[in-house]
Copies of this chain bind each other. A is one copy, B any other.
Amino acid sequence: MSYTVHGTSTSGNCHKVRMALDILRLPCEWREVDILQGETRTPEFLAMNPNGKVPVLAIDGTTFLAESNAILWFLAEGTPLVPSDRLARAQVLQWLFFEQYSHEPAIAVARFIRCFLKKPDDPRLPELARRGDRALAVMERHLSDRSYFAGDTLTIADLALFAYTHKAADGGFVLENYPAVSAWLARCRGAPGVTEMPTP
């Protein structure tokens, strides 16, 4: 199978896909998409993903898969990045859904408002800060007695949560307040293929 990612290098949702491709040594063409220039709203892009969001994985140029965490699962199922045990697989999914529902909409959006839109006085920021700190507190509690989110080794749950957490300071969050999260971030950074996301 040949892969093309239509993605934005400074987006955490896209960066997690890039890390999975790198860790799994899967060859892939990367086509850069400029969200701020409306490139996810063109008819060509909407034909790939009617929801108008990056990343999109094109498979053999004819099949298109959207939603970053679904792409992670597709690429990594059958590798050590997705456990084979049924319960452990569901626990990976639990954290992938946590990331998309409780983490990304606060921490990534706060970063987007501050770093892309450059609006540090945006009225949405206090509520996003409150929700983002709540998500970080949930992660802190979970990581207080374990090394990775699901099982004893790095999985796609870690890659998904690493993507925006390691840049949470961009959204105004203070990672020093979360020692277990900070230790986990250092652990992730030690894994081959885990890389820093480019700054906007």
Contacts and interface: CB of A to CB of B under 8 A. Distances in A.
A73 B82 CA distance: 14
B77 A86 contact: yes
Q: Which interface residue of A69, A77, A100 has the most chain B CB atoms within 10 A?
A: A100
Interface in A118-173: 138, 141-142
A138 B51 contact: yes
A91 interface: yes
A105 B73 CA distance: 23
Interface stretch (A16-24, A32-40, A58-66, A178-186): A58-66
B50 A65 contact: no
A101 interface: yes
A98 interface: yes
Dominant secondary structure at the A interface: helix
A140 to B, nearest CB: 9
B102 A51 contact: yes
Given A51-B138, A98-B51, A138-B51, A65 B91 contact: yes
Nearest to A92: B70
Contacts of A71: 90
Nearest to A1: B87
A76 to B, nearest CB: 10
Contacts of A105: 101, 105
A146 to B, nearest CB: 13
A74 B87 contact: yes
B138 A98 contact: no
A183 to B, nearest CB: 18
Contacts of A73: 89-90, 93
